Amino acid sequence: MKILLSLLAAIGLVAPALADEVKVAVAANFAAPVKKIAADFEADTGHKVVISTGSTGAFYAQIRNGAPFEVFLAADDETPAKIEAEGAGVKGSRFTYAIGKLVLWSAKPGYVDDKGEVLKKGDFARLALANPKTAPYGAAGVEVLKKLGLAESLQAKIVQGENITQAWQFVSSGNAELGFVALSQVWENGKLTGGSAWIVPAADYASIRQDAILLARGEGKPAADAFLKYLRADKARAVIKSYGYEY
């Protein structure tokens, strides 16, 4: 019997009693920072974090249809509000964990100038965006193009990723010369990780407030509570800031 139990524990069927697990759905743009935060959290508390990354719209549909997530870190503030209103989230648990910044980025050094004039020149074949219908950073990109009066003239050059990760991938592989991505994807420890970029002034698009919410499945689970608390503590905030977010 003992052997059987330890075997089951080894393959994860029987969770050890103390170390709790929290399942977190995370918007694609926050994938890198959440990994760091989760590693710190695991080391500090002994709880385990299971991270799923994807687009906020897809997660919304999955959560409404019974996905087993306990915490949701969305890429906007509307989706968590909707989840709370519809009863799939715990009332009063919402808070803004990060304010995202939009950046026009190219994998080529020196290609994007620090005022975004490259967009007006238009001597590129592809401009990557996340799907504006489902991804807040995509919608913000379209807003910037409209503000510059370029939305129509550049329409034919736009390629859409299903989420911000894919938009980044199109640019980083060079298939699109440039694209609107999240600053967090190309920023670490206070500087660009590579290529060239224009950090779009915050006034040019509606601010991307990213809200977290405790989901109904996480209600009363100590690990879920602890993770959300941890996300607001100084240590996590320092990580969040180092990726170029405000909060």
Partner 1 sequence: MPDSQDLAAVWLTLKLAATVTVLLLLLGTPLAWWLAHTRSRLRSVVSALVSMPLVLPPTVLGFYLLLVMGPNGVVGQATQALGLGLLPFTFPGLVVASTFYSLPFVVQPIQNAIEAIGPRPLEVAATLRSRPLDTFWSVVVPLARPGFLTAAVLGFAHTVGEFGVVLMIGGNIPGQTRVVSVQIFDRVEALEYSQAHWLAGGMVVFAFVVLFLLYALNPDSRRRPA
Residues that bind partner 1 (CB under 8 A): 55, 57-58, 60-61, 125-126, 128, 131, 133-134, 158-162, 166, 169-170, 173-176
* Both structure tokens of 121: 């020149």
Closest approach of Cβ 135 to partner 1, in Å?
9
Closest approach of Cβ 8 to partner 1, in Å?
30
Closest approach of Cβ 134 to partner 1, in Å?
4
Q: Among 84, 81, 219, 28, which residue's Cα sits nearest to residue 228?
A: 219
Which residues lie across from 104 on neighbouring strands? 180, 198
Q: Which is nearer to partner 1, 45 or 131 (CB)?
A: 131
The 3-class SS string of 90-154 reads CCCCCEEEEEECEEEEECCCCCCCCCCHHHHHCCCCCEEEECCCCCHHHHHHHHHHHHCCCCCCC
Q: Which is nearer to partner 1, 21 or 54 (CB)?
A: 54
Closest approach of Cβ 153 to partner 1, in Å?
16
Closest approach of Cβ 57 to partner 1, in Å?
4
Q: In degrees rounded to 5, what are phi and psi of residue 92?
A: 80, 5
* Both structure tokens of 106: 């190219």
* Both structure tokens of 166: 């894919």
Q: Which is nearer to partner 1, 145 or 176 (CB)?
A: 176
| DSSP β-ladder status, 21-27 and 48-54 | parallel
Q: Which is nearer to partner 1, 65 or 189 (CB)?
A: 65
Beta-sheet strand order (sheet of 208-214): 48-54, 21-27, 71-73, 208-214, 95-100
Q: Which is nearer to partner 1, 26 or 231 (CB)?
A: 26
